[in-house]
Amino acid sequence: MQPQVFQVIKDYIAEGGEAATVIEKATVDALTSLMAIDSQATSELILSSFTHHHTTLLDRLQNHPPLLYQYLHAIITAQRRPGHEGEKGGLCLSPKLHEKYFTLMCKYSPESVLEYLQASDSLVSLEQCLSLCKSHNLTDSTVYLLERTGDLSGALDLILHDLEANLSDLSKAYAEEEEPGAVPAAGEFYTLAYTAKERDFFYAFSYLHTSVHIHSHSHPLS
């Protein structure tokens, strides 16, 4: 039922005439509602038939951040497709909108951030991307950006911090199995009645952390 709505709109617009004018006005009035129904289909409709209403939709979506992210994502995804000749339908997103898009991605689609950064050069500055990734605790993306800026020591420190946090969580989980409520000290591990594979993994993980920590202090990065 929902896909038919968008096809009907496209058909009327393609025919032109007075009916197309009426349908266009009704569609523009209902843009926010249509985005809530199917953000992808609405975004494609704007890109194919209503690019002149791009600014109107942006204004209306300011109070609906998830929908704004989905709309900007549709535009930028279309522009980054292989063989695309330029700005989709003449739409030109300002650096400010690219920054808004990246900010919203960090919040609503954090799993997409690293791939986005690796795919091509972002129009958002490295410093701004790094600040946003740090504020949203996106470790993988932050490490990647630190490496790009040449801060290898900062990247290694963050990896070690994240590894130590994971080890601490793992240690607590094992300790809870042995004695509910017990909290192991930092670096303290328990030999429990787990399978040999589980114990091997646990101690290998601990050994990896210790080895990297010692190496980073013995061979400081410049």
User: DSSP letters of 58-122?
Assistant: HHHHTT-HHHHHHHHHHHHHHHTSTT--SSGGG----HHHHHHHHHHHHHH-GGGHHHHHHHS--
Question: 141 with 186, same domain?
Answer: no
Question: 19 with 88, same domain?
Answer: yes
Q: Determine whether 151 is exposed, middle or buried from the number of CB atoms within 10 Å of its CB (0-12, 13-18, 19+).
A: middle
Closest by alpha carbon to 57, among 73, 78, 37, 35?
35
Question: 60 with 88, same domain?
Answer: yes
Question: Per the domain annotation, does 186 fall within a domain?
Answer: yes
What's the domain range around 102? 97-150
**Residue with the two structure tokens 């950006």:** 145
Which of 51, 67, 93 lies at the terminal end of a domain, its last residue? Answer: 93
Question: Per the domain annotation, does 161 fall within a domain?
Answer: no
Q: Determine whether 101 is exposed, middle or buried from the number of CB atoms within 10 Å of its CB (0-12, 13-18, 19+).
A: buried
Which of 47, 67, 93 lies at the terminal end of a domain, its last residue? Answer: 93
Question: Per the domain annotation, does 32 fall within a domain?
Answer: yes
Task: Point out the residues of the chain with pLDDT beneath 50.
Answer: 1, 85-89, 186-187, 189-193, 214, 217-218, 222
Question: 113 with 85, same domain?
Answer: no
The type of residue at 138 is L
Count each helix (H run) and each strand (E run) in the chain, helices first. Answer: 12, 0
Question: Per the domain annotation, does 9 fall within a domain?
Answer: yes
The type of residue at 52 is H
Q: How many domains does the chain have?
A: 3
CA 185 to chain centre: 35
- Torsions phi, psi of 193, nearest 5? -80, 65
Question: 124 with 144, same domain?
Answer: yes
Question: Per the domain annotation, does 24 fall within a domain?
Answer: yes
Question: 1 with 88, same domain?
Answer: yes
Per-residue pLDDT, 117:
92
Question: 103 with 54, same domain?
Answer: no
Per-residue pLDDT, 218:
46
Question: 204 with 172, same domain?
Answer: yes
Question: 32 with 44, same domain?
Answer: yes
CA 68 to chain centre: 14
Question: Per the domain annotation, does 114 fall within a domain?
Answer: yes
Question: 11 with 58, same domain?
Answer: yes
Q: Which pTM value belongs to this model?
A: 0.70
Q: pLDDT digit string (tens) for 117-171? A: 988 667 789 999 999 999 999 999 999 999 999 998 888 888 888 777 777 776 6
Question: 81 with 117, same domain?
Answer: no
Question: Per the domain annotation, does 192 fall within a domain?
Answer: yes
The type of residue at 57 is L
Question: Per the domain annotation, does 155 fall within a domain?
Answer: no
Question: 86 with 106, same domain?
Answer: no
Per-residue pLDDT, 161:
82
Q: What whole-number distance in Å separates Cα of residue 113 and Cα of residue 106?
A: 6
